[in-house]
Amino acid sequence: MKYGKISVSGINIFYREAGNPESPAMILLHGFPSASHMFRDLMPMLQDNFHVIAPDYPGFGQSDMPSRDKFTYTFDNIAEIVDGFISAMDIGKFYMYVFDYGAPVGFRIALKHPDKILGIISQNGNVYSEGLGKKWEARAEYWKNPTPELRESYKSAFAPETIIGQYTFGTKPGSVSPDGYTLDIHYTHRPGYDEVQSDLIFDYQSNVKMYPKFQEYLRTYKPQILAVWGKNDPSFIPAGAEAFRRDLPDAEIHFVDSGHFALESCCEEIAGLINGIIRG
């Protein structure tokens, strides 16, 4: 495993890298409230078949967190930075692993560069309205009526107990290491983190509005899709995985007995499915 930073539009982006650069590239795009460390166990399991690269987004993990007056925290802008990162790393065609926030980031890049996408692994990476769990109904009301009080209330999304719950809900007792969520909680203490993340919670509505475009991309370009889903995830429910077959009847759909952060308890199973892409 290698670690580094590269400047993209004046922002230092941290990344993890493993595998042979001559192997097919795979970009791993993390979710909220995590960073590339969520792939710490997966990358060694993929490195024999793929050149795996996992960046931290601006404001996440070990990457810079520019002030909000210098960088507007939207999913459009994060996707632009990740796209710039891919170019700066001189990556041509690649597979994408998208999880949670990584789905709207990655699908924006796929819309812009459909010729570069070798295939997509979506692990609880939703692009369908039917995949939105119950909590999104309240979020939709917030987007319609974004009062300061509601913005403040949604900061509970990165409270320690909420983060721990994201990792452990729907998993077997004792199957989730505390390492991942402890590091996530540590990053929430960065100055300005709460307002940055609140901006992204509000901007998530832009992703839902883009779902029809993401689905049109799937129908038009027919990328190879492996949807592997923690079936007990309350945020992005199994219907979001099953919906891929509406646009791509040949999509591979697999459910694992886990929750949102399925890699924490089912990493070997997920890695086996991904490595199967290369084996045929």
How far, CA to CA in Å, does 19 sit from each of 47, 50, 69, 122, 279? 4, 6, 38, 21, 17
φ/ψ of residue 26, rounded to 5: -135, 120
The beta strands (E) that lie in the chain are given as 2-8, 11-18, 25-29, 51-55, 94-98, 117-122, 225-230, 252-256
Cβ–Cβ < 8 Å for 122, 103: yes
Cβ–Cβ < 8 Å for 253, 239: no
Q: Which residue among 30, 37, 51, 260 is the active-site one?
A: 260
Cβ–Cβ < 8 Å for 197, 33: yes
Known catalytic membership, residue 260: yes
Q: CB within 8 A of 79, min separation 6: which ones?
A: 104, 105, 106, 108, 109
Active site residues: 260
